[in-house]
Structure 1
Amino acid sequence: MPPDIELTQPWPLPLRRLLLEGRRDLRQGRTLQAIRRFERALELEPNIPEAHLGLALARRPGPGYRSWLEILHNALRPGLYVEIGIETGGTLRLAGPGTAVIGIDPDPRLPADGTVAPDARVFAMTSQDFFATPEAVAALPGPVDLAFIDGDHRFASVLHDFLELEARMAPDGVIAVHDTWPLDARTAASTRLTGFYSGDGWKLVPCLRALRPDLRLMTIPAAPTGLTLVTGLDPASTLLRRRFDRILAAFTPLPYGAGAGHSLALVRNDGTALDQLLAWRAMATAKSS
């Protein structure tokens, strides 16, 4: 069953009815009916987060991004996990026993009882400040095995987070980037226009495919807005750092359009994606040995 869709506010009756009926259709497997109701709601009001989320869940079956993060933790058993953008810590708790956890967020909202991430070290700062602070970086006990980027969703920030993490990754490390298959152009803009928002961090994928053919990457069409996995990382590479400003100038204007699926390296949302990732990691390990 797909995740529940909570109503964020008391919408006017026609919209509320469409949202509730769409949610019911989604729960009962009537996907086409759900899509029609959510689309109709957005025709009446183009900024309804529940309708956008409903469309994403209806159009993108299979494990969601949180399920994939859990799959990655179980399959990779990372010694060190770094998460940028932890919010309430829901994905931090996916790390298993024996995994050292570093969380980075300028405004973490973890429960006061510490139940979500009792063993995690959380740094209440932006990722840019974290990587610019030697004392904070020194908290990393070794190379990073698994990292998750889900902080500032703008392209410049996602690119910065990626290059800083790559410089600290293990030879067979994996970087997961959230929100890389947006629902549509409106919710994928660099400037936030909607409550349901994924930003333009997706531009990292065509950027890496164009400039870093040495990397192995795939985008899993996981609800609600995709998850890109990158391995074959090279901590010694300085290309992204050296060309940072020129990359922003070239890729920031990139529109999100009909050809996005091809440029984002979409794969099937099933076990074949994990098989491919594990094969790539094995190649990276062999290359570094």
Structure 2
Amino acid sequence: MNYTDKEFLRIAKEIVKNGISNRDDKGLRAKWSDGSVASTKAIFSTVTRYDLSKGLPITTLRRQYWKGAIQELIWIWVKNSNNIKDLPLKIWDSWADENGSIGKAYGYQLAKKFDFPEGRMTQVERLIYLLKNKPGDRRMVVTIWSNEDMKDMGLVPCAHTITFSVIGGKLNAILDQRSGDFLAASGPGGYNEIQYATLVYMLAHISGLEVGEFVHLTVNHHIYDRHIDYVKELISIGEKFDTESDQPKLIIKNKVENFFDFKIEDFELVGYEPKSKSNKIEIAI
């Protein structure tokens, strides 16, 4: 069991034991495919912290489709796309219109240009400029949150803002997430942490920096009612393993100089041995 697995168990147990049900709350948006309301058990604010020099935060308690997580990251951050036709996955289909667009969300926000002190550019372009030319800058913030465009978004972003800081030649980052579906995406070593930890590796690679720490803050961290039993099963699996293991290592195999040239073939994960298969779960929409 690695450090990420322990974090997974810690937060899973806390939500299962102390989470508050929102079943009777007004205005619940999410529904299951049969039309019934998808309620949750939630706790307020969880924080995980990882030393990326020790490996990628990915849980081994349940197989994670790490390549899919990185492909989604590339779709948003590298391609700056808001169209599912540019994504070789089906996970966004429920939020897209008949033309494949998810509206003014995710990649759309990263494609926007702004008049920064350094010139007119996108948030990602400015971040890369600062990392390469002014790594001591303390204003390296990228956000895909937009109150103005919210009405035109197929899905309002859950993980919305990431702040970077270079200290001692190491690139650190903290991810702010307003809401987290523990089992589907936001739990320790799940989709969101795989993606944004990988982003730190990518940016460090093209900037000549070492990777430092990755911190993940989730405000409303919840488990959906139809996921509770599976989470309990994963807790039981985790409690059977007490031997220590290392974090799997994420390798960027090729020398990539331009951030926007990254592709899935550039990545390799070494030492990843999940303890159970990933049962297919229903996603609340």
Q: Identify, as 1 or 2, the structure richer in strand.
A: 2
Q: Identify, as 1 or 2, the structure richer in helix.
A: 1
TM-score normalised over the length of structure 2: 0.27
TM-score normalised over the length of structure 1: 0.27
